[in-house]
């Protein structure tokens, strides 16, 4: 029986907007405003302003490419069309190997908000993170129609809580909290901008779902524009509230939102913030698990990943083989964290460099593929220059994509070596078999 290698088109405009927002407005809004403020002080707002301005070109470049070339390969497919299959496969592996770390980081961040609010230990944090990852995997296995509906409800809850947290922070914001404005110098702003990139990744993730859009042109361009405006405003307001209240010093850099909400609402505020953190990160996990399984499916379909990754569920027509691969990766990363071998601060830096490289590849592809659109080429150039400028600030994390490149090169070399071997005639093959026997 011949296996079906096509995905169902069941993602409409509302689901697309919710998936974009859920993918981008994820764990970053919970942890990064505090980390950036701790790193650069009030001057971190300059980095936020720069990244907020950058968000629309980044989003539109991915949206225009998704509208013109809808494919489960997403950025990998765009790079393939622009620079060839090997370059596309390399970018695909950058993204694919980012999610197995990024997913558990999102889960541990969301679970950390709940355990911090309730006073629970690290065991509870790992258990909650495991449950969140399980929801992402199961939702992905069932299908994107369900995931899209879940995402709409989650995004409404996210926006409501973030608007409330900013309103709650206003009475506690003081001008004294903005001085000294640049306590750690100009370099700290660049370093903060690099870690802020974690907050603005996500547009490339939904590009991997474009093959399942009902109307790729409308969902990819209009949907991404609406989502970019909402995300940019909410991120900057969250950062302003964090700096203005100095919650990153009082509540801790990784749980500043809990402190902001708990002030007017007391213990219930902490519980609501913790629950919101779990929902936010679960939405991110759903989007990224879905995207990673699609890129694994696309790479396997092209012959650049093991064939079993292209298997589809007979019942739901979703990438079941790739989902099992992610399940194994998630389990390994949670084990490494639980054993104390890797901290969440270390884990969050590993995929940062690969995500940025994914964007660099996508923006470079946009420059070449969107030549018929002056807007498309301009925003692709802006995005390309900005992402290249941010990349050096990722520091030692650059070593992670170097390892991926080395492994990918070895795989391609072995694949070419095997394909270059001459095929033996059938009679000679049978004779060799009989000689062995």
Q: If you write DSSP's letter for every residue of 8-24 in order, what string do you get?
A: ---B-HHHHHHHHHHHH
Task: Report the alpha-carbon distance of residue 81 to residue 362 in Å, rounded.
Answer: 11
Structure tokens at 199: 């907050």
> CB of 27 within 8 A of CB of 281?
yes
Percent of the chain at pLDDT above 90? 23
Task: Report the alpha-carbon distance of residue 196 to residue 190 in Å, rounded.
Answer: 10
Question: Which tens digit of pLDDT belongs to each residue from 177-210?
Answer: 888 888 888 888 887 887 776 677 778 778 888 8
> CB of 87 within 8 A of CB of 104?
no
The residues with which 11 forms a beta bridge, in sequence order, are: 213
Q: Is the pLDDT of residue 6 over 70?
A: no
The residues with which 319 forms a beta bridge, in sequence order, are: 312
The residues with which 1 forms a beta bridge, in sequence order, are: none
Looking at per-residue confidence, does 153 or 64 come out higher? 64
Q: What is the pTM of this model?
A: 0.77
Q: What is the pLDDT of residue 329?
A: 95
Between helices 344-369 and 44-68, what is the axis angle to 10°? Answer: 50
Q: Is the pLDDT of residue 431 over 50?
A: no
Q: What is the pLDDT of residue 20?
A: 87
Residue with tokens 């070419």: 416
Residue with tokens 């990943």: 305
Q: What angle do CA 359, 364, 366 make, to 5 degrees?
A: 95
CA 107 to chain centre: 12
Three-state DSSP state, 372:
coil
Structure tokens at 326: 């992610």
Alpha-helical runs (H) found in 25-121: 28-40, 44-68, 75-83, 85-96, 99-118
Using alpha carbons, select from 279, 277, 288, 295 the residue that is nearest to residue 330.
288
Range from 9-18, 333-342, 376-385 carrying the lowest mean pLDDT: 9-18
């Amino acid at each position: 029986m011949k296996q079906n290698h096509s995905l169902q088109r069941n993602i409409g405009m509302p689901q697309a907007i919710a998936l974009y927002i859920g993918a981008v407005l994820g764990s970053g809004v919970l942890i990064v405003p505090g980390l950036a403020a701790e790193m650069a002080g009030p001057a971190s707002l300059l980095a936020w302003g720069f990244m907020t301005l950058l968000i629309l070109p980044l989003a539109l470049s991915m949206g225009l490419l998704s509208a013109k070339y809808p494919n489960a390969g997403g950025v990998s497919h765009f790079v393939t069309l622009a620079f060839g299959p090997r370059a596309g496969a390399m970018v695909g592996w950058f993204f694919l190997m980012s999610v197995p770390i990024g997913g558990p980081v999102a889960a541990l961040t969301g679970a950390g908000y709940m355990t911090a609010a309730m006073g629970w230990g690290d065991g509870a944090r790992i258990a909650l993170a495991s449950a969140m990852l399980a929801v992402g995997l199961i939702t992905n296995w069932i299908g994107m129609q369900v995931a899209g509906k879940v995402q709409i409800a989650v995004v409404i809850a996210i926006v409501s809580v973030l608007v409330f947290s900013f309103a709650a922070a206003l009475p506690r914001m003081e001008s004294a909290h903005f001085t000294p404005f640049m306590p750690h110098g100009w370099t700290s702003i660049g370093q903060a901008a690099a870690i802020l990139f974690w907050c603005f990744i996500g547009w490339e993730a939904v590009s991997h779902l474009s093959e399942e859009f009902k109307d790729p042109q409308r969902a990819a361009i209009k949907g991404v524009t609406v989502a970019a405006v909402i995300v940019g405003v909410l991120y900057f307001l969250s950062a302003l509230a964090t700096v203005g209240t100095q919650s990153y010093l009082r509540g801790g850099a990784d749980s500043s939102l809990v402190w902001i909400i708990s002030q007017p609402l007391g213990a219930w505020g902490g519980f609501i913030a913790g629950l919101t953190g779990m929902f936010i990160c679960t939405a991110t996990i759903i989007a990224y698990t879905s995207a990673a399984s699609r890129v694994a499916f696309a790479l396997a379909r092209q012959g650049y990943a093991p064939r079993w990754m292209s298997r589809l569920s007979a019942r739901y027509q979703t990438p079941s083989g790739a989902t099992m691969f992610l399940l194994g990766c998630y389990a390994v990363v949670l084990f490494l964290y639980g054993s104390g071998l890797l901290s969440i601060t270390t884990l969050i830096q590993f995929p940062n460099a690969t995500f940025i490289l994914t964007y660099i590849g996508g923006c470079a592809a946009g420059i070449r593929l969107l030549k018929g659109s002056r807007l498309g080429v301009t925003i692709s150039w802006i995005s390309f220059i900005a992402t290249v400028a941010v990349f050096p600030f990722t520091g030692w994390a650059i070593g992670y994509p170097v390892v991926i490149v080395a492994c990918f090169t070895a795989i391609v070399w072995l694949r070419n070596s095997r394909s270059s071997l001459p095929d033996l005639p059938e009679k000679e093959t049978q004779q060799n078999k009989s000689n062995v026997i």
